[in-house]
Amino acid sequence: MTVATTAPVTARTASFAAAFRDRLVLPVTEPSLDVVAGVPPSLRGPRRHPGRAVHLGPGGALLCQLAEPPLPVQPPVPAQSPVPTTRQRATLGSHLCRPRSCCR
């Protein structure tokens, strides 16, 4: 089972850190909070680039970059047409997951 959680870096939340095998520490406002979060000295300090984090895992600590997947681009629906066109139906349908039994 995979569990994901978020929490601010405080002494109270740091006590739960051992329960998580992998942790991502995003930039913090105070340098001393990196110490509380368990970030090693070589990676402490400002992480100025957006999405930059420190991954704390069984293999040690690594500087990493987080990224969100791009949002799907949907073609605009014409204002005068209440019914989607064939092309628009295909675009919408491409994001749906169907059971294998109906695709044979």
Is 100 within the bounds of a domain?
A: no
Phi and psi angles of residue 31, each rounded to the nearest 5 degrees, phi first: -60, -30
The answer as to whether 23 is a domain residue is yes
In this structure, what DSSP letter does residue 57 have?
A: E
Task: Write out the residue range of the structural domain in which residue 54 sits.
Answer: 11-65
At 17, list the tokens.
């850190």
96 found inside a domain: no
* Domain assignment of residue 47, yes or no: yes
Please check whether residue 94 lies inside any domain of the structure: no
DSSP β-bridge partners for residue 52: 65
Whether residue 27 contacts residue 46, with contact meaning beta carbons closer than 8 Å, is answered with yes
Q: What's the rounded mean pLDDT across residues 96-101?
A: 43
Q: Considering the domain boundaries, does residue 58 fall inside one?
A: yes
Q: Give a yes or no: residue 53 inside a domain.
A: yes
Q: Determine the pLDDT at residue 61.
A: 93
Question: Which residue(s) pair with 61 in the sheet?
Answer: 56
Domains contained in the chain, number: 1
How do residues 45-98 score in pLDDT, each as one tens digit? 888 888 889 999 888 999 999 888 777 777 766 666 555 554 444 444 444 444
Q: What is the pLDDT of residue 102?
A: 41
